[in-house]
Structure 1
Amino acid sequence: MKGKIDLEKFLQSRKEVLATWPTGAEVSLEDGINYHKALPPEKNFAVKLKKVKEEGITAIQPRAGVALLNEHIALLKYLEKEGEADFLPTTIDSYTRQNRYQEAQRGIEESLAEGRSMLNGFPAVNYGVYPCRKIIEEVNVPVQVRHGTPDARLLAEITLAGGFSSFEGGGITYNIPYAKEVPLRKSIEDWQYVDRLIGYYAEHGVLINRESFGPLTGTLVPPSVTIAINILELLLAVEQGVKSFTLGLGQCGNLNQDVAALHGMVELAEEYLKRFGFQDVDLTTVFHQWMGGFPQDEARAFAVIAWGAVAAALAKANKVIVKTPHEALGVPTKEANAQGLKTTRQIVNMLKDQRFMVNEEYLLEKEMVKKEARAIVERTLELGEGDLVAGIERAFAAGVIDVPFAPSRFNLGKILPARDDTGAVRILEFGNLPFDSEIREFHRERLKRRGEKEGREPSFQMVIDDIYAIGKGMLVGKPRTK
């Protein structure tokens, strides 16, 4: 751990970042800080999340973003009113995520000409600070920036100055699952800039929430891999002064495993914060409903949404990211988006006063996921020899951290996950994960048990079957019987 980026060096870097697109000239740290301070507390993401945590409820949040400002505002207002969303997103378009602002500008112009969105999100950099503030002023709940950007420095500058009070992603989670050629050191250092910016806001009395992207590649990611990466991004963020951080986890589908993983993640994160002396961080959680393939049939899709809501509510996640019944069909209508929210709201309201019944399988899952995640984090710290960025870079190169199905060439890609006979995600091929014989035997035994029930050896075919299972109406991809 090397500490905060030197303030003078950071301020010098800002000049270069803000000069990369004309709207950067609108950004003033002093003005941005004053703008946030003038907003009512109920519009601050970190403040509201802390309240949600204290009240023990699970808040709901959709995904949403379109190209035209007025249409984007209308969409968010609809999701707030009709969908009853507690928090709102602004999903950023793909051109902006790749820092291709000229092409994003053409997308805005084409959208204006066509009278509908020709981009898959909101190009916030092109609009600049003041249109962003219009979004904040038109809604009554906090708004988060959701994107997928390896280099999010200018996006952060503009949206934070524009009044957004939560920024999702990280140098690992918005690189490895999203990009092929971006070196890890580059994305991590660019995200250290983002975290230093948020730390600067905190130093001047404005809390900005940071959130790690839990689902990673979305399908069958072993929870321990997700947890280890969350903890590493947490440590990178708090080192730069971040005071509000949300740990993210994607739904796997087995209730014991999902609840145990979320609880184990918080326990382990608190352990590492204490170990490194960060005792003033408000830690919260977000649970993502199923991020893999969905059934095309809407009734079946609602069942998948409801199951994710059940897991989030029983785990007492502080927030759940909601899917829509149109997941298998493309970009959802605002009505479908609101339907997913209302389905989730009904579930979390019904379960808010109920508690998950602790059982032996839950306790075993939590013990194992913590042991696995700790092994990954500890080996990463060892490889870094006091330099966390170097440790992460070396850990990925060595396969100590390995994300299945990731496009990045800086990810080794040697591990393979598959479900056991209960639907819990296990590891079929370990690659170079730093697991001891007890952990490896646990996974092998669970997969062997499934193989015996299905009359086949655990293999890559199981992986394929599991990837498509939920879309076909099952959790475990069992072979067809005649």
Structure 2
Amino acid sequence: MPSWSFGDSITRLAADGGVVVQPRMGMSQPDRMRAGLAAVQSAGAVTAGTITVDSYTRVGDHASARAALDGGGSLNGFPIVAHGPAVTRSVVDGIAGPDFPVQVRHGSADPRHVIAAALASGLDATEGGPVSYCLPYSRAPLALATHHWAQACESFAAARTAEFEPHLETFGGCMLGQLCPPALLVALSVLEGLFFRQHGLRSVSFSYAQQTHPEQDAEAALALSRLVAELLPDVQSHLVVYTYMGVFPKSESGALQLIADSALLAVRTGAARLIVKTTAEAFRIPTIEENVTALEYAASAAADVRPLPPPDDTGLYAQARSIVDAVCELSTDIGLALVAGFARGYLDVPYCLHPDNAGRTRGVVDASGRLLWQRIGSLPIGDSADLVTGRQLRSAELLDALSYIERTYDRLELAQ
């Protein structure tokens, strides 16, 4: 095991050099994966590395991943289980270290094999969560996902040594990427963090994905940090901001401006880490070179951020706290509380089609770009939510809302 940890490294790097920028990158061939990590390490920015797994590994189909490798095929990520720990160690050896921490990213509702493979390879950091990697990506029952995640967290925590501190990042603040009002994203991120802590993790990062309005995003990210300080003071933590996870601008100038705005959000809210997308996102999987260019651009944008006044308080903290408190009152076991919370509709993700999601909430983008509630179902925020009135969105209007960021930022190119 290494004599350093991901959480410690990120905290130190951010304190010394500002926001740590990190790509979403995974290649199936070990030499290409190593080349990608080396390029990110050598970028003109303070960086962290990523090994993103492939789709077969995400769903636990390791035999198909192995067959694809044996047949000379290319996968859309690194099959960490099929490759085995010796291969993964050869990929990160001499690259991963205290000045370049590496995280495994996967998207699995059952992460047990991925986490075991990461540990066997000497890697101490991954991400996800029992809700955020079940509802969007799986049809598995939420109760089963929480059971598998509990087992995975406990095995991860059991690997702790005096010099090795396993780290988990909740993906809850990125739920579905778009059209989920920020208060619920904040609540889900906090609840998954509470779940991680209950199952033994002491080093946790909390995610928030850039949405449709910069002031609202700043308010939400600051509310997330406030709740973490209040509810998880005994956990080593940092905030992670994601560049917008929805439909990306097609124009280069629009994509670059969106990336720059995510960097501004990260700096403004004290985030230690920024997950960066590229100008190729609207078209295909980015190349290594495009990832490096985006990282360097984001780091430069972050360095140029000027102080801004604090955002107005529109009640996001109060809504998120109400949701967290209501769910935690259902059970002292956070996993059972999450399952019960969805069953009662205290947690209900707009436009999510998973069978365990009630589907009675709706989010809308208003004329100013704020992401607001149109229907709250049984969410326990009735006293603090200002609902946008009107009929339910039709399919064309829903598609229009989903493309709001794309259209807004692509117009910037036309205006130049």
TM-score (norm 1): 0.80
Structure 1 unmatched ranges of 5 or more: 1-34, 449-456, 477-482
Q: Which is greater in Rg? A: 1
CA drift at 1:245: 0.5
Partner of 1:178: 137
Equivalent of residue 420 in structure 1, options 366, 370, 375 = 366
1:209 aligns with 2:155: no
Partner of 2:93: 137
CA drift at 1:430: 1.1
**What secondary structure, in the 3-state scheme, does the structure 1 residue paired with 2:70 have?**
helix
Matching residue's letter, 1:413: G
Matching residue's letter, 1:428: Q
Q: What is the alpha-carbon distance in structure 2 between the residues aligned to residue 190 and residue 349 of structure 1?
A: 41
Equivalent of residue 237 in structure 1, options 182, 196, 207 = 196
Matching residue's letter, 1:369: L
What is the percent sequence identity of the aligned residues? 27
Name the structure where helix makes up a greater proportion of residues.
1
Partner of 2:393: 460
Equivalent of residue 265 in structure 1, options 206, 214, 224 = 224
Q: Are the counterparts in 2 of residues 62 and 85 from structure 1 also a CA contact under 8 Å? A: no
1:312 aligns with 2:258: no
1:376 aligns with 2:323: yes
1:121 aligns with 2:80: no
Q: Are the counterparts in 1 of residues 51 and 105 from structure 2 also a CA contact under 8 Å? A: yes
Q: Give 1:145-184 correspondences, 5 Å limit.
A: 145-180=104-139, 182-184=140-142
Q: Give 1:316-355 correspondences, 5 Å limit.
A: 316-351=270-305, 354-355=306-307
Q: Are the counterparts in 2 of residues 56 and 316 from structure 1 also a CA contact under 8 Å? A: no
Q: Per-residue displacement from partner, 1:16-46 (whole Å, max 9, x unpaired)? A: xxxxxxxxxxxxxxxxxxx223xxx4xx311
Q: What is the alpha-carbon distance in structure 1 between the residues aligned to residue 294 and residue 408 of structure 2?
A: 18
Change (3 A) 1:474 1:136: closer
Q: What is the alpha-carbon distance in structure 2 between the residues aligned to residue 193 and residue 51 of structure 1?
A: 30
Q: What is the alpha-carbon distance in structure 2 between the residues aligned to residue 52 and residue 400 of structure 1?
A: 38
1:410 aligns with 2:345: no
Q: What is the alpha-carbon distance in structure 2 between the residues aligned to residue 210 and residue 139 of structure 1?
A: 21
Partner of 2:251: 297
Structure 2 unmatched ranges of 5 or more: 412-416
Q: Are the counterparts in 2 of residues 417 and 463 from structure 1 also a CA contact under 8 Å? A: no
Matching residue's letter, 2:307: R
Displacement over 6 Å in runs of 4+: none
CA drift at 1:390: 1.7
Larger mean Cα displacement after TM superposition, 242-251 or 196-205: 196-205
Q: Per-residue displacement from partner, 1:328-363 (whole Å, max 9, x unpaired)? A: 101112222122111101111122xx43312xxx23
Q: Are the counterparts in 2 of residues 50 and 282 from structure 1 also a CA contact under 8 Å? A: no
Q: Per-residue displacement from partner, 1:55-94 (whole Å, max 9, x unpaired)? A: 4821100010011111111122122224645101000101
1:57 aligns with 2:18: yes
Matching residue's letter, 1:390: L
Matching residue's letter, 2:323: I
Matching residue's letter, 1:296: K
**What secondary structure, in the 3-state scheme, does the structure 1 residue paired with 2:330 have?**
helix
CA drift at 1:248: 0.2
Larger mean Cα displacement after TM superposition, 323-332 or 53-62: 53-62
Q: Per-residue displacement from partner, 1:237-259 (whole Å, max 9, x unpaired)? A: 11222111100001013121111
Provide the aligned C-alpha RMSD in A. 2.0
Partner of 1:471: 406
Partner of 1:20: none
Matching residue's letter, 2:138: A
Q: What is the alpha-carbon distance in structure 1 between the residues aligned to residue 241 and residue 165 of structure 2?
A: 22
Change (3 A) 1:312 1:186: same
Q: What is the alpha-carbon distance in structure 1 between the residues aligned to residue 161 and residue 132 of structure 2?
A: 26
Partner of 1:48: 9
**What secondary structure, in the 3-state scheme, does the structure 2 residue paired with 1:79 have?**
helix
CA drift at 1:401: 0.5
Q: What is the alpha-carbon distance in structure 2 between the residues aligned to residue 176 and residue 202 of structure 1?
A: 29
